[in-house]
A and B are shown apart, each in its own frame.
Chain A
C-alpha cells in the first residue's frame, strides 16, 4: 500500500468507528473494544492484534481524530506501561498465543501493566540486575527485589527481567517474563515521592512461580527484549505525538492568559518555550514518519531527552508566573505523604505539582546522562567509555 492509501484506509476506518460507536453515547470500554477490533489500537500492529499493518506514523492520525471527536483516549496514559511499552514488546517478541492473551484486555483497561527492571543495585546499569529465576520443570522460581515499580499496586501483569545464568557476562544471562502481580510470594510496598504521592513501589519476590509460557523470547535473550521495552518507553514518554498547545505548555499558556504578569520579557520567554516545545513536537512527527514499522530506533531518544529538559523548564516557568502564589500550596493539594489506602485519590493538578513531578522526567525511563550517551554512541558513532565489566562473568563484577 502506498502511504496515501494507508492514510485513506485509516481515515475511513476511523469514520466507520465514530459512526457506529458515537463517543458521546458509547461507554468507554465498549468504545475501546470496538477500536481494538477495528485495528485502531496500534495501527502499525498486525491485523487481529489491534492493528492494520500500516505505518506507525499514522498513530498520530488516530490520536488526533479521536481526541477531536472527544473519544476516550485516556486509556493510553492510564495504562501507559502496558499500551505504550508492553504492547510493543508483545508485537516484536510475543508468540501468537501471548499476543492474543494480553493485548486486548490491556487496551480495554481490564488489566493494568507495570515494568520491573530497576533494582536497588541496578538502575542505569540495568543489565547488572540480580533478580534470580531458576527453572523447575515447566515453571520458573523467582527470588529478589525490584524497586521504583510504577503502578505495581494496581497492576495485573508485570514485565520483568531476571538473571537465569550468573556465569555469563551481564548482558547474556538474562531472561524476560510477564508475571502475575497477584501471584503468591509477590509483596508490593509503596514508596513515597517528592510530590507526596506513591506512584511507585518496591516489589519483593519470594519463591514466586511463573509458568514457562509466560517467558518472552528465548532463555538468555532477555536483554534484547529489555532493549525493545526501553526503546518503546522512550518513545512512549518523549515520542508521543501530542496535539499542539497540549500538556504543560498548554497549561502555561492558559495561566499566562488568565493571570500571568503582562511584561514583554515573560511573554517572550513563553513564546520561546512554546517554539522549543513545538520544534520537539514536529521532530517527533518527522521521526515517526521516518521510522520503519515495528521497533523504533535510537532516534526515539532525542524526544525523551528534550522533553525532560523542556518539561522541567516549562513547569518551572509556570510556577514563576504565579508570583508569590508560586511559593504557596494550592487548596486541595497537600505535600504530605498520603496513607497507603488513599494513595490513589486524585489530587488537584497544580503548577506546583507539575513542577515537582517534572524533576523525575530526567531520571525515569533512563536518565538524561544515559540518553546523551546513547545519542552520542549509537546515533553519532562516538566511542564508548572504557568498560571495567566487559566480558567478565556477572557474578565476578563489583557492585554497590
Chain B
C-alpha cells in the first residue's frame, strides 16, 4: 500500500455517529425489536422513516444519482449504529441493490433506477442465491421475448424480500449471466417469507414464473460477474461494520452487568473467569472495528479490497459470534431468556456470518489474495 492507513474519524463523521445513535436510541425500543423478531417481515418503519428523512439511505451514492455523494465511510458509520441495536430496516438490501445497478447499469438506467432507492422511495434488494452451499448455482433463466425478457426460477435467502418493492435478480441467459430489475408487483412474481434464525433481518423466497420485463430491465449487455461481486462486497463490508457495532454493544452489556451483579458478596466482574472473558471480548471488538473500518475505507480500491473484504468477513464474524455467545454466559440464566436482549445479538451474529457466503468461502478468497 502506498497510502498510509488511517482510521481516525473527522469531526463531521463523529457528529454523524452521534446523531444516528441518539436517533436510534430514541426511536428503537429494544422491546419492539424483540416483538419484530416474532414476525416474518420485521421492518421498523419509524426508524426507516427517520433514516430516509435524514438522507442516510443514499449517503454514499453519487449526487447525480440522487444520493448525498459521501464516501462509504459515512454509510459504514450508519451500519455500526444499526448493528448496536439490531434495527430491522432494509438498508443492507437497499445498498446492495443500488451497488449492483451502479456497477452494471447504463448511464440512463442508473439515472432512472438509483434515485428512488437512494431517496428511500423504493425498497430494493438483491436476489442472487438459490442453493445453500453452491452460491454460484443459477437455475433461474431469462429468455429473450418480444420487447424484452421472460424470467423463470426461484431465488432464495433474499434479504428483506417480504418488504421489497424491487428486486435486482441474477439470471442465466444464452449470452451469459445477466442482472434484471424486477418490480414486486409484476405478474408472475411471488414472494414468500422464509422463517429466519435472525428474524430481525427477514429472508424470503422470490418466485418468478414466466415474468415479462422490458429490454430496459436488463442491466448490462456484457458479463455481470464483477458487478455481482461488487454488490456482495458492499454488503459484506456493511455487515462487518454492523458486526463490529454489535460486538461492541455486547461488550458494553456484559461489562455493565458484571459490575452490577453480585454473587458471593462480590461483583461478578471481580472474578477473573468473568473479567477475562470481558477482556477477550474487548480484544475481539477492537479487532472487528479495525478490520471493518479498513474495509470501508478501501472498498473502492480494487487491489486492497481483494484482501480487506474477506479479512473483514473472517475476523468480524468470529468476533461477533464470540462476543454474543459470551454475553449470554456472563448474564447467566437471565441471558438465556426471551426477555433479555442477548439472544437478539446472538442470532444476528450467527446468521450474519452465514449470509452472503460462508466464512470459509471468504477465507478461500483471502488465501487467493495473499498468495498462499
> Which residues of A are interface residues toward B (Cβ below 8 A)?
7, 60-61, 245, 253, 256-257, 264, 267-268, 270-272, 274-276, 278-280, 282-283, 285-286, 289-290, 302, 305-306, 369, 371-373, 375-377, 379-386
B109 within 8 A of A: no
B286 touches which of A271, A283, A369, A373 (Cβ 8 Å): A283
Q: How far is the CA of A302 from the CA of B315 in the complex (A)?
A: 16
Q: Which of B344-372 contact A (CB under 8 A)?
A: 360, 363-364, 366-367, 370-372
Sample of 22 A–B contacts (CB below 8 Å): A61-B4, A256-B372, A264-B364, A268-B363, A271-B364, A271-B372, A272-B363, A274-B372, A275-B310, A275-B314, A275-B315, A276-B315, A279-B311, A283-B286, A283-B289, A289-B8, A305-B279, A306-B287, A379-B279, A382-B269, A383-B267, A386-B270
Q: Which residue among B258, B266, B314 has the maximum number of chain A CB atoms within 10 Å of its CB?
A: B314
A251 shortest CB reach to chain B, Å: 12
User: Known: A278-B291, A282-B290, A383-B259. Is A372-B372 also a contact (CB below 8 A)?
Assistant: no
Sample of 16 more A-B contacts, CB < 8 Å, known A268-B364, A302-B283, A375-B278: A256-B372, A264-B364, A268-B363, A272-B363, A276-B315, A278-B291, A279-B287, A279-B288, A283-B289, A283-B290, A372-B280, A376-B275, A376-B276, A379-B279, A383-B270, A386-B270
Task: Check if B291 sits within 8 Å of A369, measured CB to CB.
Answer: no
Q: Are A270 and B269 in contact (CB under 8 A)?
A: no
Cβ-closest chain B residue relative to A268: B363
Residue in B272, B314, B372 whose beta carbon sits within 8 Å of that of A369 in the complex: B272
- Chain B contact patch, size range: 35 or more
Q: A372 contacts B272, CB within 8 Å? A: yes
* Residue B6, interface by CB 8 Å: yes
Query: Does B294 make an interface contact (CB < 8 A)?
Result: yes
- Interface presence of B282 (CB below 8 A): yes
- Docked pose: A219 CA to B255 CA in angstroms: 38
- Are A245 and B270 CB-contacts (below 8 A) given A289-B8, A382-B255, A382-B259? no
Q: Within the assembled complex, what's the spacing in Å between the Cα atoms of A375 and B291?
A: 21
Give every chain B residue within 8 A of A377 (Cβ-Cβ). Answer: 275
Contact check, B366 vs A271: say whether CB atoms are below 8 A apart: yes
Count of A-B contacts judged by CB separation below 8 Å: 132
Task: Decide yes or no: A305 and B6 within 8 Å by CB, A271-B314, A276-B315, A283-B290 being known contacts.
Answer: no
Decide: A381 and B4 in contact? CB cutoff 8 A.
no
Contact call B282/A380, Cβ cutoff below 8 A: yes
Smallest CB separation, B206 vs chain A (Å): 31
- Bound complex: CA A383 to CA B270 (Å): 5
- Nearest residue, chain B, Cβ from A376: B275
How far apart are the CA atoms of A64 and B6 in the complex, in Å?
15
B240-260 interface with A by 8 A CB criterion: 251, 255, 258-259
CB–CB A279/B370 < 8 A? no
> Is B338 interfacial (CB-CB < 8 Å)?
no
Q: Chain B's nearest CB lies how many Å from the CB of A348?
A: 24
- Contact status A280-B364, CB under 8 Å: no
Which of A7, A275, A369 is in CB contact (< 8 Å) with B276? A369
Q: When the two chains form the complex, which single residue of A279, A290, A376 contacts B291, counting CB atoms closer than 8 Å?
A: A279
Known: A279-B290, A305-B279. A271 touches B367 (CB 8 A): yes
Q: Does B5 contact A (CB under 8 A)?
A: yes
Residues of A within 8 A of B291 (CB): 275, 278-279, 282
Determine the chain B residues whose CB is within 8 A of the CB of A386 once the complex forms.
Answer: 266, 270
Also in contact, A382 and B314, with CB within 8 A (given A282-B291, A302-B282): no
Point out the residues of chain B lying under 8 angstroms from A256, CB to CB. 372
Contact A286 B7 (CB under 8 A): yes
Chain A residue contacts of B266, Cβ below 8 A: 383, 386
Q: Which 9 A-B pairs have the closest CB atoms?
A: A376-B275, A382-B269, A375-B279, A279-B287, A372-B279, A282-B290, A275-B314, A271-B363, A372-B276
Q: How far, in angstroms, from A257 to B372 measured CA to CA in the complex?
A: 6
CA distance A285 to B6 in the complex (A): 8
Q: Which of A245, A271, A272, A289 contacts B7 (CB 8 A)?
A: A289
Interface class of chain A by DSSP? helix
Given known A369-B276, A381-B255, contact A7–B370 (CB-CB < 8 A): no
Please pick, from B259, B294, B314, B372, the residue contacting A381 in the complex, using a CB distance under 8 A: B259
User: A385 vs B364: C-alpha distance in the bound complex, in angstroms?
Assistant: 44
Residue of A at shortest CB range from B314? Answer: A275
Contact yes or no, A276 B275, CB < 8 A: no
Known: A282-B5, A381-B259. A271 touches B370 (CB 8 A): yes
Interfacial chain A residues near B288, Cβ < 8 Å? 279
Shortest Cβ distance from residue A165 to the other chain B in the assembled complex, whole angstroms: 30
In the complex, what distance in Å separates the CA atom of A268 from the CA atom of B314?
10
Determine whether the beta carbon of B287 is less than 8 Å from that of A283.
yes
Q: Which residues of A contact B315 (CB under 8 A)?
A: 275-276, 278-279
- List residues of chain A with CB within 8 A of the CB of B360: 268
Partner pick for B279 among A60, A270, A371, CB 8 A cutoff: A371
Nearest Cβ distance between residue A254 and chain B, in whole angstroms? 9
Residue numbers in B under 8 Å from A376 (CB-CB): 269, 275-276, 278-279
Shortest beta-carbon distance from B116 to chain A in Å = 37
Query: Considering the chains assembled together, what is the distance between the CA atoms of A339 and B90 in angstroms?
Result: 69
Query: For B8, B291, B371, which residue has the most chain A Cβ atoms within 10 angstroms?
Result: B291
- Which residues does chain B contribute within 8 Å of A373, judged by CB atoms? 272, 275-276, 279
Let me know if A275 and B363 touch, CB within 8 A: yes
Distance in Å: Cβ of B369 to nearest Cβ of chain A: 9
How far is it, in angstroms, between the C-alpha of A253 and the C-alpha of B293 when the chains are bound? 25
Alpha-carbon separation in the docked complex, A267 to B360 (Å): 10
Residues on B with beta carbons closer than 8 Å to the beta carbon of A276: 287, 315
List the B side residues contacting A272 at CB < 8 Å: 314, 363
Contact of B370 among A264, A274, A286 (CB under 8 A): A274
Q: Which of A7, A60, A268, A282 contacts B294 (CB 8 A)?
A: A282
| Minimum Cβ distance to chain B for residue A135 (Å) | 40
Is there contact, CB below 8 Å, between A382 and B275?
yes
Residue among A285, A372, A382 with the highest chain B CB neighbour number at 10 A = A382
CB distance from B317 to the nearest CB of A (A): 10
B293: which A residues are within 8 A, CB to CB? 286
Assembly CA distance A385 to B271 (angstroms): 7
Chain B nearest CB: distance from A285 CB in Å?
A: 6
Q: Which residues of A contact B5 (CB under 8 A)?
A: 282, 285
Q: Are A270 and B367 in touch, CB under 8 angstroms?
A: yes
A384 / chain B contacts, CB cutoff of 8 Å = 270
Compute how far the CA of A383 lies from the CA of B260 in the bound complex, rounded to whole angstroms. Answer: 10
Kindly state the separation between the CA atoms of A373 and B7 in the bound complex, as whole angstroms: 27
Closest Cβ neighbor of B359 among chain A residues: A272
Least CB distance, A321 to chain B, in whole angstroms? 11
Chain A residues closer than 8 Å to B314, beta-carbon distance = 271-272, 275
